[in-house]
Structure 1
Amino acid sequence: MSDATAPHQIEEGEIYLLLADPNMMKKASIQLVGEIIDAGYDAIVITTNQPSPILRMVYRKAGIDPQSVWYIDAITRYSLGKEPDSDPMTTYINHPSNLTDMGIAVTQILKKMEGRKVCIMLDSVSTMLIYLPTQNISKFMHFVTNRLRLAGVAGVFLAAEKGLDPDLLMQLSTFVDTVIEE
């Protein structure tokens, strides 16, 4: 796919790495969540990039029903420096580098959504590089892809094009079914 306006066909149980132009990451995120919901999936957004309250507002402005998106939010609590207001559709993680809690949250939400058509979107692998060494991200992404496969759940990992080192890109490419370059 050559531009951020091209529709993506998200197949059940398939895992994708979407490499987007850094200037188009926000647009790619909005478009992807809309497509996930339009395809009949429950959307779960793992965010290390923007706080879930901001994403909820952005998605609402784009015509996406805020009640159709669940969040695993690893940035809000860290950015606020305190516990955010409770939200039944959001699991807050204390820091983007806390992969253990993030992995537990993925497992718990998949258990809660069992039997439903689910797609998880991670926004973004590139932001995780600010907080974690490449090796840790690679191990975590390997865990998540296998967890999704075992559950038969679709997944999309968003990353800035040319924002990943070649080794990480190679590893991620072997974990996913399809790499999409926008």
Structure 2
Amino acid sequence: MNANAANKKIVFSYEGPFNMRIISSLGKYLAEYLDAPFETRMSLYRVFIEISQNVALYSEDRVKQELETTVGVGKVIIETDGNAYYCTTTNRIRPEHADVLVNYCRQINEASTNDLIKLKEKLRRESSIKDNGAHIGLISIRLFSKNLLNVDIIKENENTFFTISSTIS
């Protein structure tokens, strides 16, 4: 949550397993029922789907689903201050991934839109060679929101948490 949270209204929050049914249901609310202009709803929907998929796929905390598959566990909060929406997720990560994620986000924030589009295409071509999914998702969040990524690494006891927030205005 951002520092000026007192001025924000919670649209919704969720904490638990991020399976595709839950992500779809929450996303449908944003796309169809949120009282906001169409373009804002669609940008928020796209950011929410990408940011939530990062939790589902990459959270260190996992829950077993049907057919022995697992999904990530984390938190999401959607807030508004009346001028913009803020989509924030938090999930536990491996400590060794913290610097990598922060560096990815810094590079994404420093790049132009055209450079991000080219990088995303390049990473997609290479994705069969190595796992670039998280990097592609972070690029998509930045492109959909048209704003910088806000990231924070929180170390708590033996755990490391990754918080990412995107502003949709």
- Which one has the bigger strand percentage? 2
State if a TM-score over 0.5 links the two structures. no
Alignment TM-score, normalising by the size of structure 1? 0.33
Which of 1 and 2 has greater Rg?
2
Structure with larger RCO (C-alpha < 8 A, sep 6+):
1
